[in-house]
Structure 1
Amino acid sequence: MEFLVRIDVALPPELPAARRAELLAAEREHGLALRRSGAIERIWRLPGGLRNVGVWVADDATQLHELICGLPLHPWAQIEVTALATHPLEAGG
């Protein structure tokens, strides 16, 4: 199944710079692994902050939940998920 996933991250301002850098590096590495595995099919950065929108692929909503909860920045993220269905124009018809 494909899901449209929007993630908005708000790290606390009092977070030490070194911890922030560590979290952002861990998030990047984890995101790259999700891309390689095919769990993140496409992703775009939304200008103006730590925000992105992407097309994620998972067997079901439970698997998607597990993938999202594994993100290092998950504790500071607001996440919106929309299940996608194939449009007839995409299906060749």
Structure 2
Amino acid sequence: MEYLVTMTTKVPEGTSAQDVDAVRAREAEHTRELAAQGRVLRLWRPPLAPGEWRTIGLFTADDAEDLERTLASMPLRVWRTDEPVPLGPHGNDPGRGTVATAAGEDEYLVTFTVQTPFDADTAAVERMDAQEAGRARELAGQGNLIRLWTLPGKGRNLGLWQAPDADTMDSVLRSLPMTAAGWLTVETVPLTRHPSDPGA
């Protein structure tokens, strides 16, 4: 099973720079080990305010307890809080390793919330689902859609996307049939690659 984990680190006041560097070095080494085991798939940094230290990670684990053992084994956990979100399979997901991350492309996490009109009948919903699936295949083929998952809660999904810039990403999202029809709301988070990202 895959999980998206937001990791927020707060170094205690008075901790020396030497101690911080030592823990970060151990963290980087252990992350390489976890990546080799297939437990850490990707690491990114979201936009940060001054003084913030956050990482978003894509992990695999058998279940929540197995994930917790992995997170607890990481050296930075002594200063860190973790917020895991389970990711479910999505029918339009291209699949892990199908779409390569491209050098020079920016990556984005996009949360989608589907809001089906109350007066849409079953046939209309099926047509829209089919159009959305077809467009997702096209965008995966073009290298824009990397992964797609379901999130906890009705009608919520998460996508990992790439594009040369934010304007292109916005155009790609507006090309989705559900977006054009007003059935989707989206929240986009631009990402930068973490120095320990296994996908780099």
- The TM-score, its normalising length taken from structure 2, stands at 0.44
Query: CA–CA distance in 1 between the matches of 2:43 and 2:26?
Result: 17
Cα distance in 2 for residues equivalent to 1:12 and 1:47: 22
SS of structure 1 residue aligned to 2:92: coil
For residues 46 and 24 of structure 1, the distance between their equivalents in structure 2, rounded to whole angstroms, comes to 18
Query: 1:72-83, aligned counterparts within 5 Å?
Result: 72-83=75-86
| Structure 1 residue 89: Cα displacement | 1.1
Please give the secondary structure, in 1, of the residue aligned with 2:89: coil
Q: Matches of 2:75 and 2:2 in 1, distance apart?
A: 22
Structure 2 residue matching 1:73: 3-state secondary structure: helix
Could you tell me how far apart the structure 1 residues matched to 2:9 and 2:47 are? 13
Higher relative contact order (CA 8 A, sep 6+): 1
In the aligned structure 2, how far is the partner of 1:25 from the partner of 1:91?
34
TM-score, normalised relative to structure 1: 0.89
Q: Tell me what 1:65 maps to.
A: 68
2:5 partner SS: strand
Distance between the aligned counterparts of 2:58 and 2:20, measured in 1? 26
In structure 1, C-alpha distance between the alignment counterparts of 2:57 and 2:20, rounded to whole Å: 23
Letter in 2 for 1:60: D
- The answer to whether residue 45 in structure 2 is matched with residue 42 in structure 1 is no
What is the Cα deviation at residue 12 of structure 1?
Answer: 1.2
- Count how many residue pairs are aligned between Structure 1 and Structure 2: 93
- Cα distance in 2 for partners of 1:50, 1:27 equals 14
Larger Rg: 2
Question: Where does the alignment leave 5 or more consecutive residues of structure 1 unmatched?
Answer: none
- Please, which runs of 5 or more residues in structure 2 have no aligned partner? 96-132, 134-200
Displaced runs of 4 or more, over 4 A:
none
Find the aligned partners of 2:70 and 2:46 in 1 and give their Cα distance: 21
Counterpart position of 2:99: none
